[in-house]
Structure 1
Amino acid sequence: MGHRLHPALVHFPVACWSLAVVADFAGFWFGEPAWRWSSGLLTVGCGTAIVAMLAGILELAYVPEGPAMRIAYWHMGAMLCACALFCTRLLLRLEDLRALEPNTVSLLLDAGGFLCLTVGGWLGGKLVYHHGVWRSDSH
Structure 2
Amino acid sequence: MLYFSKQEDYAIVLVTRLAKNYNKKLISLSEIAKEYNISPLFLRNIANLLGRNGVIKAKEGKNGGYFLDKNPKELKVGEVLGIFEKRPMLDCCSLAHVKKKTKCSREKVCEVSKVWKKMNAEFMEKISSVTFYDFIKNQ
The two structures share one fold, judged by TM-score above 0.5: no
TM bucket (normalised to shorter chain) is 0.3 to 0.5
TM-score by length of 1: 0.37
Q: Which has the larger radius of gyration?
A: 2
TM-score by length of 2: 0.37
